[in-house]
Every structure is written in structure tokens, then in C-alpha cells.
Structure 1
């Protein structure tokens, strides 16, 4: 069910009815169509104080962690030196010295890895939660706007493809992207703070190196920094190459996982139909095909991940055992450094390599970050593309609908309407030269299956993409579109009846009255419940009851223009009559355009016609004519239920037999 035409809600029709003027493209995700735009949006939003406060705390704790690295390297060197000189005659308290240094090192480890790292982890996770929640809100607001963006974004065609698995992008991609981005930022910040604190300590303790006397006392520090500058960037370049492969495979994996999950969700929604048609074997084949794509991609991803893990292990060993201890070896050999100074400098070089190698250690996560951000950016771009639906659809076909308003006395008018499929040269499958629906007129839309009945109603409501023509709505009249299949959201029964308005817009008494008039009076006592006996209302209500729920909405909302797209398909003949009678009694001036499978429209129990006219679609042309005079109700009943001739004749009223 889709409702259009409410001015204060600015529906899609309302936007188009304003004429040729187009407002600038501006949505809650307009600034997120590039990587850096997506990354900085939260920090320049209405919640900038929250974002920058958490970021500042993380920065301060990261700086403290880097300073603790200096203390740790010094303590580690002190412990190693006390062990090395344990048997030295000058060491009068060897056990006490070793234990003291060991205890100090343990305290530093607790401070660094438990307190400092714990605080940073908690604050970073809080920032992750806040940022993700803000992004989720922005994308939901953009998709669920009155432009029906969620609908149009899924209806791209060749040359203008719709984004796949929107649910996965909003949920999983945003979550992984925000977490990865925060981790990356903390790593970069850690590199700079380590260079400042640990690098500064290296410079302060630097000594002259034989053969590099021209560098003065900075010789050992420059030698160490040079080793880092050669070793780390070269291996980072290798990691980037592998990371690009991981990024591509991660995107493919997300697509494969999303397609498989989407098929599972669709299957669970049509579970009854699969069981009724005994289609389990076909469904198993579909699932196997979807999972085969996951399996192939996963196998390739495992190979690259394994290769990267081996590369990282070798890199870590060479960095920690060779590169870290190599630069200080020369001044140590020539007595420029004592053992304690050599070990301290080597540990500091190792700490710098570890920090500067952060990009290598997290390259798989960076690849995942880039993959996730790409999918989020694509969704933001798709949202932006469909803000003017006709311009969007014009890229892949003819979309030249014009929507206007007129005095409500003249009702609804359709002029020179042609509906087609995508493609500039597509032949129209339905045309309507001139259709006029007066205020209070009920029209029955008739035609063979597939002739375009539903497409016509969609086009009137701005939900058909391709074609041309003019649709003129009555000014100030609210429209209500009731589709054949009713899907209920996970909200209270009262909210379901009040849709699309809020449950606060109507009193309990009004909603209860609407439920009673629709034939759902048994549920009045459960209006505040979101479920019943552990099941949602979508599971509790039968197909017929859901369509009665639509009647309750109509009775409550009192629309002036009503579109019924096979909205009585799940009702028996008596319930169909009650459905129409409820609308007739409670919405006396409503204009109704209805699609039904019946050969003739239903009539009231007294034999009075509900409908005044018929729009017949034949050979791709829609024509409207008054409803033909009906046979008396007794004759219609007999013709619909044939009996033996004598019995049928005797069932005719005496006055008819005489005629």
C-alpha cells in the first residue's frame, strides 16, 4: 500500500506537480559520494561535538601509549642488562636488581596494555558505535523519504544498474567500514606519536658512528632511521599490491554472500509456495548455485590471505631480529655504546618498526575498509541519482510524465498516456487517450492478465518508470493506494491501522471504530500489542484479515482518491461485498479505481451497484464507458450458478417468467 497526494508530506506526486523547477540535489548522504566525504561527514555534522570529543580522547590516549613505549624499552633494556651482569663482581645485589627491574617492567606492561590500551579500546568502540549509528540514520532517512527513494534505487536498468544488496550495504558494510576507519586512524596517529616520542629518545641517546663521523653525535640515530626508512616502505609497497588483490576479492565475497543471503530471505518469505508446489529440489539447486560463487571466491581469498600471512611473519622476524639490532651494532663494536645503550636503542628501533609497520599488519583490514567504503559510496551515489526519478529513468528510456493539479470538481484526468518498458525505442504496451474520473465515481478496471492494469495504476501514482502522458490530480485530495499483497511491519496493531500517519494522530476510539467497521472487532483489545502469542501481526493475520485491515485504514484516513489493486483477492464473495459496503458507507465522496479478477463488479446485498463505469483494456488500449445496465440480482445469481433448466426457470420471479 502506497499513499500519495498529501501536501504536507510532499509525496512524489506533489514534487512532480510543482512543475519543471528542480531543487538542488541535496539528501542526508549528499556529502558522502567520495571516500573523504564519507570519512569526514560525521565530524562536520550536527553531532560534531560528540565526534571531536571522542576523537580527542583517543588521540591523547594514543600519545600516552607511545610515551609508554619509551618507558617500556628503557625498562626492558634495564632488565636485560641486569641479567647480563648478574655475575659481575661489582653487582652486589644481583637478585634484587633483576627482580626490581622485572617488577617495573610488569607494571609498565599492565599500565600500557591494560589501562591505557583498555581505555583507548573502550573509547574507540564508543566512537565506532556512535559513528555507525549516525550513518545508519542518514542512510535510512535518505532511503525512506517521501520521494520513495528506496523503491526507485532498486529499479535501475542496463546502463544505470541498481545497487545490489542494499540491506547488506546499510548494515554490514557501514559497520565494517566505520570500525576499519577508526582502527586505521589510530594506527596512523600511533606512527606519528611514536616517531615523536621514540624517535626523539633515539636522537637524545644517539652517538657518533665510525665511518660516519660527519654526522656527528646523530650518527647512530640516523643509521637506525635510515634502516627503518628503507625496510618499512619497500615492504609496505609489497603489502599494498597484495592488499589490492584482497580488496577486489573482498568486494566479490560481499556480493556473493549478499546474493546468497538475499535468496535465503526470499525463500523464507515464499516458504509456503515452495512447499505447496513441492519445489524443494529446485530451491536446493538455486541455493547450491549461490553458494558455489561464495566457495570459489572464498578459495581465492584464502590463498591470498595465506600468502599475506607468510609474508608478514617473515617481515616481522627480519624487522625484530635483524633490522632492529643491526644499526646499533657498529657503534657497540667500536665501544660507542655500552650493552645497556645498545639494547635500549635496539628495542626503540624495534618499537618504531612495529609502529611504522602498522600499515603492513592491517593491510587486509585496509583492503576490507576500502571495499566496504566503496559499497557505501555506491549506495550514496544511487540515492542521489534518483532524487528526480523522471530524469533518472530518462537515462535508460523515455520518461515524460507530467503531473498537475486542477479543481477537485473535475476529479482525476488522464491525457495522452502511453506506458512502455525501458529503451528509447520501446513500443508502448498500453495507451489511454483521455480518461476522466469524476468525484465520487467508482470505476472498475477490466482486462486480461498482463494487459497493464496494475501498470496503469502505478503510473498514475508516479511508480511506473517509462512512458509519457499527463495526469491531473484533484487539488487538495488525499490519495490511497491499496495493493494486492499486504505486508505488515513489526509495529503495534494501532500503528498498522494508522499508517501512513502516526499512531498519535488518531485516538484509540477512532482506531477501534475503524477496526469494528472493517470486520476486525475481535482484535480491538490488542491494539497496543506489536505481537500476539509470540508472532508478529504479519504472521497472525490471514490474507483476508490483512485486506480487512486495509479497509480499516481507508475508513480511518478518509481519502478522496482510492486505488484498489486486487485488494479483495483474498476475500470470499460475502466479504468482498462487506469490503465495498464499508467504503461506500464511510467514504461517500471517494473516487475509486479498482482492479478485480471478477468478470463483473460486485453489488450490494440490496442489488445496488457499487461501480458506475468500466475502463476496459484490450489490444493495448484503455477505454472508459458507463457500466452497462445490470441484470436483476436473481438472474445474475442463476447465470453464475447454472442448474437444470426446469429448476432455473422455477427460480425466476413470477413477473420475469411472464415476461
Structure 2
């Protein structure tokens, strides 16, 4: 789906091809029937006009009955065509629209939300591969409008083909000779009609294409401007408290005005081009219906080669043919919108494809040479020759770590000045830092859990929030209730099945501290082997921080913890025991690891912090350690 035509045909070649082709063939059949109904309609219309013209003719012995009969037949055909055939076709086409859009939407959701974290990497573009703006708009509005426009365009194109077949055939059957063009024989009026259509429609279609190109470019600009403004409004509402606390309304208002000015300017240009197009289309319709359509049969009618009924019938059929063949002119604004939407969607598809191999993607704009491996879980987590940089081939490393090893069950406190790279180190370990090099070897079979400082909750049930990253079917209600209780959120156990309370979602109900307790419940439930805490206790008071750590210590005895905190000293238990066994200090761009207690090996620090009896672990120490 990386090209326009690839995007257009993907659904019809997918595993849902039977559904797609069935609906398409039904639409095609109804479109052909609608074109055939145009022939019936033109005949009935000509009969009605003829009955009006000869109402007072002496040969017309039943003028009223003939007039009413022709009028009733015309009304019946209008109802059959517009309310019946066209109405049913609309229902089938909108069903196809719904199915196709749902399929495309599902493909993009699957692609963005894969295990590769594509949604994350796709938003970190570079000069070589710019990140797509307003992904939400592309997935929703652009896909919806694109699929609707494509179906409408396809129906119109097929309608042109069927009109040429049915109406063209009718013109040939009713054709008569034209004086001065005797060499054409009885096909004179038909040839004139086709020449008139062939000259009139393509030339004006060319004009429409030029105007449509301008509309397409303006539509793309409008979508970008609208998306940027909407995105800023969404972001603003999420940080509403911070704007109020900093009294930043004036700056925010200025930003909104600047973004809306872009919308207003583009909208003004779009309105001008739309107005020009509307005037062009109205003039085109009048000339086509009243001049071009009635021209080919005029000469034979003047020379009595056609009676009034034949002349009117032929003119109506030429007019119907012009209208059908003018479909592209009538829908050129929609075509421009379709092309704009398809471009937005294919850009997103290309962006998704580009980041399927993140290191290759980031290597276009910098050095990205990370290697991730697995080893026996006994050896824990190992980091070797790690260097983190920013974008750029010659970027200087801002953080280096020659050799860091984190044993199973070891708790490590990561400290350093703000901006030294603590969070970047954790991101790199988890494959979320783009530039640099090094080797990260994970314990085989160990699950990782990354807890960030800011907790954003999705609009799902409380049980599902606790079960993340799994689903609510992975754990029983009793297990989730136990995890909530151990995390200090026992008061919410009775609301596990609720997505909201008092009209508010959980993200609005829970305080910052409660959200971080919810993270503890997830950790207790998931039992990860590796736990990364990125300032995950920032919203808790000192007692809350101790309870946070104690809950993990009591319920996850073998977990390896690497934690970033702003505190100069790592928290201790209420009994004064150390939670952490070691500390990684980042200074001058170098990360070094040492035992938390000076002059003591990590093994001894582990004993002092572990609740098991000292004798039980002392017996396992090497003799050289005992001698120390």
C-alpha cells in the first residue's frame, strides 16, 4: 500500500477478496442498470414533450389520456431509477465504503502497533525521511475520505462506459442522414453527436484537471493546517493545568491564532478556486445541455429529416451522454480531495515501511549500531562498549559505558546530574534510543518492564489497566484484586470492571501518586525479570516511595531493578535496610558502577539488604570474600 494504485487494489487482493468483489459486482450491475434506465427516461421524456406539442393536433383523439399516461410513465421511471436503482446502489456502495475503510484502518493499526514499536519510530523522522505529521488525522479522516472518493470515482467511470454503450447504441439506432454529409449515410446525426461530445467534453475536462490540480495542492495544505491546529488543541487540553499554573494563556492564545491564520489563508485560496470552478461548471452544463446537445439534430429537423419527437429524443440522449461523460468534470473537486487524501495515506504507509528495520532507518542520519543478544539468565544483564550519540555521522558520544553487569536479583540506583543521559541509557537498553553503538545482552527468558515517570492511562477498564501489557483475559479477577491490594489501591477493587466513574475515565480519576501505585500493581501482577524505573516514584511522598519499593521487594524477589531517581541517596526500608545493592554514576559522560556501600563487594551488600538470614548466604561465599 505504498503507492496510489497499490493502495486502491490491496483490499480486493486481500483475504477479504470475496466480500470486496461481491459488493463491487453488485454496484457494477446496478450502475449498468442505471445507464439503461437513462435510455428509458430519455424516451419517456421525449414522449411527454411530444404529447404536449401535439395536444391540440386534430389527429390526437385522446390528448388528456396520452399526456397523463406519458407523465405517469416518466414519474414511474424517475422513481425506479432514483429511488430504486440509485438508492439501492447507494446502500451497497456505502457498505463497501464501510468495509474497505475498516480493512485499511485495521492494516494501519496493526502496522503501527506492532512489536517493533513502529508508532514510536515513525514519529522520529529526519531530513532523509521526514516523520509524517498528524498521524491520527491520516488514519481516520484521510482514509475515510479516500475510500469514499475512490468508490464514487470508480462508479462514475463505469457509468461513463455503460452510458457510451447504451446511449451510444440508442443514438446509432435512431440516427438519420444529414444534408451536406450524405457520405455518412444514415449515421449522420450519430457521428455529429459523437464528434460534438468528443470535442466538447475532453477540452473542458483538461480545464477541470488544471483547476483540480490547484484544488489538490490546497487540500493538502488545508489538511496539514487543520491537523496542526487540532493537534495543538489536544495537547493544550492535556496540559491545561500547567498553562493555568504558569498563567500562559496569552502565549497559548498567540500560538492558536498563528496556527489558525494558516488555516484561514489556505481556506481563502481554496474558496477562490472553488468559486472559479463552480462558475466554470455551471457555464459548461448550460452550453452542453442547451447548445451542444441540440446542435447535431438541428439540421435534419430543419430539413424535415427528423420529426419533433425524434429531434427531442436524440437531443435528450446526447445531453444524457454529455452528462455521463462529464462525470470527471463534475467530480474534479472530489478527485482532487481523493488524490490529496491518498497522498497523505501513502506517505504514512511509506513511513511505516521505512522504520521496519529501525537501525537501518536511523543509520541514514547518524550512527546506529546496537546489538541485542541473549545469554544464560544466571549472568543477568550485560552492557558492553556502549556509546550514545545524537543525530549526525560525526556526533560525539555524550554517554559511554565500557562494561556494566547487572546480576539477577540486583537492584541498581542510577544517578547523575540532570541531562547527563540517565533516561537515555535506559531507553538504549530497551531499544528506544536511535543513535549510538554497543552490545546489550539480556538474560534469556526474562521479561522486561519499563515504568516511566509520567503515566498515561488508556480508556479501558481498571482491570485491563492493571493487566497491561497483556490483556484482561490473561489474569483472573482474584489475581488482579490481589495486585491492587498489595499496591495500596484496595479501595478500587470493586470497580475493576469499570471504564469510568462519575463520567470520568481513570486517567482523570486517579492522582499522580495513585497512577504510580497502579504501576506497582502491574509489576506485582506481571512478575518481570528486568524492571526499569525511570523516575517512577516522582509523584510519591517519602513514605509512598518506601512503600513502592517495599511492595516490589516483597512480591518480586528475583527481579533485576535499574532505577533513575532525582534523590542523592537511594531510599531505604522502614527498618533501615538498603533496597539497592549498587549504584551507577554518570559523570563527565562516563557511566561507572560500584557497590552502594563503600568498600564492600556487591555480594556482601546484597546480603545486608536481603531479608534472609546472613548465615544462609555467608556459607555460599568464596573463601577470598570471607577473608575480606
TM-score by length of 1: 0.90
Unaligned runs of 5+ in 1: 1-31, 631-659
Secondary structure of the residue that 2:400 maps to in structure 1?
strand
Query: Is 1:315 the equivalent of 2:274?
Result: no
Partner of 2:190: 221
Match of 2:307 among 333, 338, 341: 338
Secondary structure of the residue that 2:242 maps to in structure 1?
helix
Secondary structure of the residue that 1:156 maps to in structure 2?
coil
Alignment deviations for residues 584-610 of structure 1 (CA, whole Å, 9 cap, x no partner): 011111110000111100000000000
Alignment map for 1:107-126 (pairs within 5 Å): 107-126=76-95
Partner of 1:4: none
Partner of 2:495: 526
Q: 2:204 and 2:424 mapped to 1: Cα distance?
A: 59
Query: Is 1:239 the equivalent of 2:221?
Result: no
Match of 2:47 among 72, 75, 78: 78
Match of 1:444 among 396, 403, 413: 413
Partner of 2:111: 142
Partner of 1:52: 21
Query: Is 1:599 the equivalent of 2:568?
Result: yes
Secondary structure of the residue that 1:163 maps to in structure 2?
coil
Q: 1:172 and 1:217 mapped to 2: Cα distance?
A: 53
Q: 1:504 and 1:451 mapped to 2: Cα distance?
A: 41
Alignment map for 1:99-498 (pairs within 5 Å): 99-498=68-467
Bigger mean CA deviation after superposition, 204-213 or 555-564: 204-213
Relative contact order, CA 8 A, sep 6+: which one is greater?
A: 1
Pairwise CA distance, 1:541: 0.6
Pairwise CA distance, 1:363: 0.1
Secondary structure of the residue that 1:337 maps to in structure 2?
coil
Query: Is 1:624 the equivalent of 2:621?
Result: no
Q: 1:123 and 1:154 mapped to 2: Cα distance?
A: 37
Secondary structure of the residue that 1:473 maps to in structure 2?
strand
Secondary structure of the residue that 1:124 maps to in structure 2?
helix
Q: 1:489 and 1:81 mapped to 2: Cα distance?
A: 69
Q: 1:305 and 1:152 mapped to 2: Cα distance?
A: 38
Alignment map for 1:551-570 (pairs within 5 Å): 551-570=520-539
Pairwise CA distance, 1:210: 1.2
Q: 1:445 and 1:287 mapped to 2: Cα distance?
A: 40
Pairwise CA distance, 1:159: 2.0
Structure 1 moving runs of 4+ over 3 Å: none
Partner of 1:15: none
Alignment deviations for residues 548-602 of structure 1 (CA, whole Å, 9 cap, x no partner): 0000000011011100000000001001001000100111111100001111000
Secondary structure of the residue that 2:431 maps to in structure 1?
coil
Q: 2:7 and 2:305 mapped to 1: Cα distance?
A: 52
**Cα contact 2:129–2:351 (8 A) shared by 1:** no
Q: 2:69 and 2:489 mapped to 1: Cα distance?
A: 80
Secondary structure of the residue that 2:433 maps to in structure 1?
coil
Q: 2:182 and 2:463 mapped to 1: Cα distance?
A: 85
Secondary structure of the residue that 2:359 maps to in structure 1?
helix
Q: 1:413 and 1:48 mapped to 2: Cα distance?
A: 49
Pairwise CA distance, 1:629: 5.0
Pairwise CA distance, 1:280: 0.5
Alignment deviations for residues 513-571 of structure 1 (CA, whole Å, 9 cap, x no partner): 10000000001111111111111111111000000000000001101110000000000
Alignment map for 1:634-645 (pairs within 5 Å): none
Q: 2:127 and 2:95 mapped to 1: Cα distance?
A: 42
Secondary structure of the residue that 1:415 maps to in structure 2?
strand
Q: 1:591 and 1:92 mapped to 2: Cα distance?
A: 103
Partner of 2:509: 540
Alignment deviations for residues 383-403 of structure 1 (CA, whole Å, 9 cap, x no partner): 010000000000011101111
Q: 2:303 and 2:251 mapped to 1: Cα distance?
A: 78
Pairwise CA distance, 1:628: 2.7
Secondary structure of the residue that 1:382 maps to in structure 2?
helix
**RMSD across aligned C-alpha pairs, in angstroms?**
0.8
Alignment deviations for residues 43-84 of structure 1 (CA, whole Å, 9 cap, x no partner): 111111111111111111111111110010001101111111
Q: 2:179 and 2:101 mapped to 1: Cα distance?
A: 55
Pairwise CA distance, 1:325: 0.1
Q: 1:106 and 1:507 mapped to 2: Cα distance?
A: 65
Q: 1:455 and 1:293 mapped to 2: Cα distance?
A: 36
TM-score by length of 2: 0.95
Query: Is 1:88 the equivalent of 2:71?
Result: no
